[in-house]
Structure 1
Amino acid sequence: MSALVLALLAGGLTGLALGALGGGGSMLAVPALIYLLGFTPAAATTAGLVVVTLTSVTALVTHARGGAVRWREGALFAAAGLVPAAIGGAVSGQLPSGVLTGAFAVVAALAAVRMLRPPATVRPDEAPVRTRRVARTGAGLGAVTGVLGVGGGFLAVPALVNVVGLRMRAAVGTSLLVITVNSLAALAARAGTTVDVDWAAVAPFAGTAVLGAWDGRRLAAKVSAGALQRTFAVALLAVAAFMLADAVL
């Protein structure tokens, strides 16, 4: 199978996951770029940020049209992750490939486990928002985005539910705003690096990811969110196990 066909297929799946779940797409993008298209881990995380940014913006527009984005809360959460995302983006290019691959595998496994757990209980609307906790969580999410080139929706969605008190539908839409901001900050930090990225392969990947994000939003309206998450989580666990074995062996 040609590299172009692989890029188109992998990009479509990435966008579908991101549009349907509000996150998780980059967990597919980075392994696909490494193992299907031959990118180095450093190049894959950089390219992954480009793909995640474009697909997040696309999915954000669709969710915003449905009134599912809380702009004020999302901006506060995202602001806490700006500096950590920029620092992580600058540090990522200096890390050995094995460390990046192993770290990504661990984070992917944690994301899968999080998705398999029962949905979190929504915090009562009248309870006060814990600003420090929001700042800590947002900063941690930004750092993960910067170093590993992932959007971090699997962390953002439950945090927006438990810490900020959003309903699940609003948390999914608002997480896309957070992902977009963090990804842009991480990309800006990587702008001066010497990582060699094959943009000819990234372009079709990103293009089908954007289209997939539109379809993912429609899929989320028709299929149970729990069923989507469980299916994606099982696939993600398999990817994480493969990557961890590759990093260790």
Structure 2
Amino acid sequence: MSAFVLALVAGALTGLALGALGGGGSVLAVPALIYLLGLTPAAAATASLVVVTVTSATALIGHAREGTVRWKHGLLFALAGLGPAAVGGAVSAWLPAGVLTGAFAVIAAVAALRMLRPSASAPTEAPARPVRVATAGAGLGAVTGVMGVGGGFLAVPALVNVVGLRMRAAVGTSLLVITLNSLVALAARAGADVSIDWARVAPFAAAAVLAAWDGKRLAARISAGSLQRIFAGALLAVAAFMLADAVL
């Protein structure tokens, strides 16, 4: 299978995850860019931020039109993570490839286990105090910068369990958080000496943007719990593969 076709397929899966779950796109994008398209971990992390930024911003528009974005809490959550995201993005350039791959695998596994917990929804929206929201946002920003991930796979559980949003609102709001965090992390990497093969990344990003709309429609037809369980299973498989690759 050609690199172009692989880029389209992987990009479509990334977009579906972002559109349906409000996160998880970069968890799929990074390993796909490394193992399917042959990018280095550093280049894959940077390219992933480009793909996730464009795709999440596109998906955010659709969720905003349906009123599922909680702008006040999302902005506070995101702004608290901007500084840590910038610092993390600068630090990541100095970390060995094996460390990045292994750390990513561990975080992906933790995220999958959290998604399998029976906490997909909250009975009422009772937003937490600003300090708790900001603390959770800062932690997510640091992960975004170092790992080159948008953080949606961690943002959604945090917005549900810490901020107190319902699942649908958490999905929409997480796209706002992902977009802002990814932009800052990408800007922090601008000076890094990383070469990106745009002939492969561009079709990947285009497929992701188009598939994000399909993911949004899919989410309306399938229960959030079912989507989370399916995605969590795939995420555990990816984590196991990447951890084995980092260790062996």
TM-score, L = length of structure 2: 0.97
Runs of 4+ in 1 over 3 A off after TM superposition: 123-126
The 1:147–1:123 alpha-carbon spacing in structure 2 relative to 1, beyond 3 Å, is: farther
Match of 2:240 in 1: 241
* Percentage of pairs with the same residue: 78
Deviations 1:98-143 (A, max 9, x none): 00000110011111111111115638555x7222221221011001
| Deviation digits for residues 147-183 of structure 1 (CA, Å, limit 9, x no counterpart) | 1111111221122122222221111100100010000
1:236 corresponds to which letter in structure 2? L
Alpha-carbon distance between aligned partners in 1 of 2:121 and 2:218, rounded to the nearest angstrom: 24
Computed over aligned residues only, the root mean square deviation of the Cα atoms, in angstroms, reads 1.3
Provide the rounded CA distance (Å) in 2 between the counterparts of 1:104 and 1:235. Answer: 15
Q: Output aligned runs, 1:70-219, within 5 Å.
A: 70-119=70-119, 122=122, 125=125, 129-219=128-218
SS in structure 2 of the partner of residue 192 of structure 1: coil
**Partner Cα separation in structure 1 for residue 168 and residue 90 of structure 2:** 33
Indicate if the aligned counterparts of 2:17 and 2:23 stay in contact, CA closer than 8 A. Answer: yes
C-alpha separation in 2, matches of 1:138 and 1:123: 23
Which residue does 2:6 correspond to in 1? 6
Native 8 Å contact 1:85 1:144 kept in 2: yes
Report the alpha carbon displacement of residue 81 of structure 1 after superposing the two structures with TM.
0.2
- State the distance in 2 between where 1:110 and 1:162 align: 15
Compute the displacement of 1:44 (Å).
0.4
Partner of 2:191, secondary structure, is coil
Instruction: Please give the secondary structure, in 2, of the residue aligned with 1:203.
Output: helix
What is residue 62 of structure 1 aligned with on the other side? 62
User: Would the aligned equivalents of 2:16 and 2:215 in 1 still touch at CA under 8 Å?
Assistant: yes
- Contact conserved, 1:109 with 1:236, CA < 8 A, in 2? yes
User: Retained in 1: the 8 A contact 2:121–2:167?
Assistant: no
Q: Which residue of 2 aligns with 1:48?
A: 48
- Cα distance in 2 for residues equivalent to 1:125 and 1:118: 17
Unaligned runs of 5+ in 2: none
Deviation of the 1:76 alpha carbon: 0.6
Q: Gapped runs of 5+ residues in structure 1?
A: none
Structure 1 residues 24-60: Cα deviation after superposition (integer angstroms, max 9, x where no partner):
1111000000000011101100000011101100110
Report the CA distance shift for 1:224/1:149 in structure 2 as closer, same or farther (over 3 A). same
Q: Is residue 123–residue 161 contact of structure 1 (8 Å, CA) maintained in 2? A: no
Partners of 2:150 and 2:200 in 1: how far apart? 20
Please report the TM-score for the alignment, with normalisation by the length of structure 1: 0.96
Give 3-state SS (helix, strand or coil) of 1:122's partner.
Answer: coil
